[in-house]
Amino acid sequence: MVQLLQESSSTARDLSRALGIPEKEVYYHLSHIEKSLRLRGGVIQEPARCLDCGFNFKKRHRLTSPSRCPICRSEAITPPVYYLRVPNKPVLPVEAQDDFLPRLSSGLGRCNEMNRSIFHDDDPPDFCEFKEDQLIPSQENRIREVISAMVRSCNDDKTIDHVGATLIPSKDEIIKILGMLQDILFPGFFGRQELSPSTLEYHLGNELISLYESLSAQLSRSIRHECRRMDSLCVKCVQRGSEEAILFMEKLPALRLALALDVKAHYDGDPAAKSLDEIVFSYPGLYAIFVYRVAHELFVKNIPLMPRIMTEHAHSLTGIDINPGATIGKEFFIDHGTGVVIGETTNIGDRVRIYQGVTLGALSVPRESEGGNYLRGRKRHPTIEDAVTIYAQATILGGETIIGARSVIGGNVWLTSSVPADTTVLIEPPRHVFKDDSGK
């Protein structure tokens, strides 16, 4: 390995004069050569080559020549030639190298012995530049200016940050909790699949203890964050988090039953489903409903942050957006699911089926008004009664809109008014224009 410039300021000064570049920049470049050579073997302009058969070793041998050709076994091998680029600088003439570089006690003088050269940007080589992963001092200064500007922006009331505040829930930990719950609510499908009646109690016990530890910690963080945000009196956040974790876990048997009915509704509503296992393993609609039912139990207990983090995670994976505040009955079926939106104050009865692209939403808040604050906490989304079917791309808006039981809402329908029970709503068929492209 080439021994490079370490502490000789006089050598750096000499190089600065010879190359016509600032001394600090010379020292910066040279101080990183050894690391670059160690990690990447330098930059090869001409790889090693066998003189007998012409085999090109490419980049498999970097710092040293191979001892023998793998093709013809010849030992007549030309060594690789290395180059070092110093960007945007003039060429150091060969004569100057021969006269100047050998005088250096350490540093670049040895580079001449390894066939290295410094050349100008007007003669670009056909290999990667040495500068590709290095910062020059001027770039470092610019980055420091960006850092300073970002720090100053955190003191601006117009920006948003969470510096110096209490801990918030960890999104990564909440996603892990959903994975634990998926294993617990569908044992044998996810996580450890080699379960038997004799190992089930041990497995569930281990999973539930892990769930309690993670869930109570994240619940405590959520509650503490809300207390500090609202500047309210202490409610013993850790104690309440532990208690809420136990209360939630006590609801898991009922959640298992509700999800089993949802799985059956998917099987009954989708002739393409080959088995219940296929639905549990792969249906995005069921996954979104599973996450919703978990998050809803936390939402009704006024747990902040966590319910929405959960449902937005499912939204990002499935394209199905179910607000944890919505109320959804038994045997709920979402077919395909992409683009489904169910708002916070939506009420959905039992045995409801909806298809992709359905929106159960709110009317828009007027611009430049306090309508958002005025409507917060009020009923803004529709009510869907039992056994309603809503087909693809239908849009139903408004808190006073009620879709009566057993009604059918056709695809692409737009509704902002109520529909009586046992009613089918369709849009008029569009007028089609058929054009003969055969040329006859």
Residues 6+ apart with CB under 8 A from 85: 43, 118, 119, 125, 129, 130, 131
At 121, phi and psi to the nearest 5? -65, -20
Please report the pLDDT score of residue 4 as a whole number: 37
Which is the CATH superfamily of the domain at 328-365+374-440?
A: Hexapeptide repeat proteins (2.160.10.10)
Q: Which residues contact 238 (CB under 8 A, 6 or more apart)?
A: 216, 220, 224
Pairing of strands 353-354, 389-390: parallel
pLDDT for 408 equals 98
Both tokens assigned to 96: 């100057």
440 residues of the chain, pLDDT tens digit each: 233 333 344 455 666 666 666 766 665 555 554 444 444 434 445 667 777 777 776 644 444 446 777 777 787 777 665 444 444 444 333 333 333 333 333 334 333 333 343 333 344 444 444 444 556 677 788 888 999 999 999 888 888 887 776 778 899 999 999 999 999 999 989 877 788 888 899 999 999 999 999 999 999 988 887 776 666 556 678 888 999 999 999 999 999 999 999 999 999 999 999 999 999 999 999 999 999 999 999 999 999 999 999 999 999 999 999 999 999 999 999 999 999 999 999 999 999 999 999 999 999 876 665 556 667 778 999 999 999 999 999 999 999 999 999 999 999 999 999 999 999 999 998 888 998 888 66
Residue 338: count other Cβ atoms within 10 Å of its Cβ. Answer: 14
Question: Counting Cβ atoms within 10 Å, is residue 35 exposed (0-12), middle (13-18) or buried (19+)?
Answer: exposed
Spatial separation of the C-alpha atoms in residues 338 and 354, rounded to whole Å: 11
Q: Identify the three-state secondary structure at position 384.
A: strand
Who contacts 382 (Cβ-Cβ below 8 Å, separation ≥6)? 346, 347, 360, 396, 397, 398, 399, 401, 402, 403, 415
Residues 62 and 74 sit within 8 Å (Cβ to Cβ):
no
Q: How far apart are CA 425 and CA 390, in angstroms?
A: 10
Phi, psi of 321 (to 5 degrees): -110, 100
- CA separation for the pair 336, 387 (Å, rounded): 19
Contact 259, 290 (CB under 8 A): yes
Distance CA 406, CA 352 (A): 9
Query: What are the domain boundaries of the chain?
Result: 9-42+84-145, 328-365+374-440
The DSSP letter of residue 82 is E
Determine the pLDDT at residue 111: 39
Could you give the C-alpha distances from 268 to 45, 228, 277, 334, in angstroms and in order?
A: 67, 48, 14, 12
Closest CA relative to residue 342, chosen from 313, 378, 383, 303: 383
Encoded amino acid at 91, one letter: V
Spatial distance between the Cα atoms of 310 and 40, rounded to a whole number of angstroms: 44
